[in-house]
């Protein structure tokens, strides 16, 4: 009888232990389920925040790109406008005067053969010097006329109106100086030739007066 009682007690304890294990297992399952639910919720929130952040970043990049495109177009339009010559600048009087100064210098240079033929009082070295100096002035004039042509033509030089007018004025002043120099050089050469011819004539007259022919 005692042995049967002990056996029943053991069976009861075994059942109680099993029940406790089942209860513990169910409790653990519930805890794991709750933890899993919380993890899913956190993951969902993270995904939502990530998606929202990506959307904001994408919109921000789109806005920045749009701003850059607009800024680029603005700068491009500004730059393109600098390459267009306004009619009033193209028609400035100084442009025509610069061309005339260069043309007048060419006339002086082209007339050198006749000039030397008339001014026989100049030495060969002096004639060569006059010709060389005028050729350099003509070469400088060609460079200036080429630049002037570009300054009054669209798309060649891109600059502000003030800078364009300033450069055209500088070219005019330089052409004026070159033409004035060419004129003065020609006049001084003619004067030197005339002076020598006068001196030669005076010398011959003195020889005649003194019967030294």
Are 108 and 194 within one domain? yes
Tokens of residue 152, six digits = 């009054």
Q: Residue 85 carries which DSSP code?
A: P
Are 78 and 143 within one domain? no
**Residue ending a domain, choose from 58, 82, 106:** 82
Are 103 and 201 within one domain? yes
| 126-130 CB contacts, 8 Å cutoff, 24+ apart | 126/189, 126/192, 130/185, 130/186, 130/189
Residue 99 contacts residue 145 (beta carbons within 8 Å) = yes
| CB atoms closer than 10 angstroms to residue 95 | 18
Residue 97 contacts residue 168 (beta carbons within 8 Å) = no
Are 117 and 61 within one domain? no
H or E element at residue 39: helix 2-82
Q: Per-residue confidence at 172, pLDDT binned at 50, 70, 90?
A: very high
130-142 pLDDT, tens digit each: 999 999 999 999 9
**The pTM is what?**
0.60
Query: Alpha-carbon distance 54 to 100, whole Å?
Result: 68
Residue 23, domain member (yes or no): no
Residue 21, domain member (yes or no): no
Are 95 and 157 within one domain? yes
- The confidence score (pLDDT) of residue 141 equals 95
Instruction: Over range 198-208, report the average pLDDT.
Output: 63
Residue 175 contacts residue 141 (beta carbons within 8 Å) = yes
Number of domains in the chain: 2
Full domain range(s) for residue 36: 31-82
Average pLDDT over the chain, rounded to an integer: 77
Residue 14, domain member (yes or no): no
8-29 pLDDT, tens digit each: 444 444 544 545 554 554 565 5
Residue 97 contacts residue 171 (beta carbons within 8 Å) = no
Query: Alpha-carbon distance 110 to 116, whole Å?
Result: 11
pLDDT at 88 over 90: yes
Are 106 and 169 within one domain? yes
Query: Alpha-carbon distance 103 to 100, whole Å?
Result: 5
Are 101 and 155 within one domain? yes
- The confidence score (pLDDT) of residue 196 equals 82
- The confidence score (pLDDT) of residue 10 equals 45
- The confidence score (pLDDT) of residue 77 equals 60
Are 98 and 194 within one domain? yes
């Amino acid at each position: 009888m005692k042995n049967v009682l002990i056996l029943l007690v053991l069976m009861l304890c075994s059942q109680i232990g099993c029940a406790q294990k089942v209860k513990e297992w169910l409790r653990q399952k519930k805890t794991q389920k709750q933890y899993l639910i919380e993890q899913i919720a956190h993951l969902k929130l993270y995904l939502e925040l990530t998606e929202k952040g990506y959307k904001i970043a994408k919109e921000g990049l789109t806005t920045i790109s749009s701003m850059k495109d607009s800024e680029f177009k603005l700068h491009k339009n500004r730059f393109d406008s600098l390459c267009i010559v306004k009619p009033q600048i193209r028609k400035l009087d100084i442009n025509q005067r610069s061309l005339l100064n260069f043309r007048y210098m060419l006339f002086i240079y082209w007339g050198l053969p006749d000039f030397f033929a008339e001014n026989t009082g100049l030495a060969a070295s002096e004639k060569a010097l006059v010709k060389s100096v005028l050729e350099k002035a003509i070469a400088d004039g060609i460079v200036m006329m080429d630049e002037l042509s570009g300054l009054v033509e669209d798309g060649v030089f891109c600059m502000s109106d003030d800078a364009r007018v300033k450069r055209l004025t500088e070219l005019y002043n330089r052409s004026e100086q070159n033409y004035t120099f060419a004129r003065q050089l020609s006049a001084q050469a003619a004067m030197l030739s005339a002076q020598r011819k006068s001196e030669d004539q005076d010398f011959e007259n003195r020889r005649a007066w003194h019967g030294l022919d």
